[in-house]
Structure 1
Amino acid sequence: MKDKKRKIGFSYAWNGIKEIAKTERNFRIHLLATFLTVAAGFLFKLTMVEWAIIVLTIGLVLMVEVTNTAIEKLIDYLRPEIHPTAKIIKDVAAGAVLIAAIIAAIIGLLIFLPKLHILF
């Protein structure tokens, strides 16, 4: 019985990821950035530590984007009409994504900029 519950829980989670990938443009942009970053990682032969930092950073951004989307959907469900507090909640959640994206960009620059001399 436990295995069935695990499989069901995993399938719900996977359905959520598929749904956000299908319906949320920003999530797809983050997935494109993920693909480009991983490709650059192979091109520049990142070290194991650099890969760990990149994977953690990608995970952070994707998790915050998923959480932001969940918050937005919940607010839209609870308050379909425009409400000032609902707007603040959505803006704060979006701000978390922006912070994560800025951190990811800084980490990307710290890891990849020193390696650009390979191309020139």
Structure 2
Amino acid sequence: MKNPNDGFFKGRLRSVKFALKGMWLLLTTEDSIKVQSSIALLVTLMGFYFSISITEWMIQFLVIGLVLVAEALNTAIEKVADFIHPDYHEKIGFIKDIAAGAPAFAAFFSLIIAGIIYIPKIIAIF
């Protein structure tokens, strides 16, 4: 919540504090974020191993960010939906299914990008 006594910089620092808290909560409580973060670490290590280019690094980190953001937004939508209607409801289920589709799209396209980056490098080894 915004504190009217906060100046601009103090308000921004509070916002960063809340954002970091949200990231920590996601990383420590949500299995999907844990899995995606582990995959992000693995492909980052692969990037070092295969000496990917600067452009490939940028694309890889952009895709990692996209997947993590999609997972985070999906989690937020699911938490709000569960708060509003804790029992099963067809319309809430529909909303949650659509929200789950966002990280699925992001993950699918991230696999395509990973293939474009890494398959030629793996083939070159053999």
- Please indicate the TM-score interval, normalised by the length of the shorter structure: over 0.9
Quote the residue 1:87 is aligned against.
93
AA aligned opposite 1:112: Y
3-state SS of the aligned residue for 2:76? helix
Gaps of 5+ in 2: 1-6
* Percent identical residues: 37
Please, which runs of 5 or more residues in structure 1 have no aligned partner? none
Counterpart AA for 2:11:
K
> Alignment RMSD, CA only?
0.9
The number of aligned residues is 120
Q: Does 1:59 align with 2:51?
A: no
Matched, 1:48 2:54: yes
Higher RCO structure, 1 or 2 (CA under 8 Å, sep 6+): 1
Deviations 1:61-81 (A, max 9, x none): 000000000000000111111
Aligned residue for 1:98?
104
Hey, what does 2:125 align to over in structure 1?
Answer: 119
Structure number, greater radius of gyration = 2
2:42 maps to 1:36: yes
Q: What is the TM-score with the length of structure 2 in the denominator?
A: 0.92
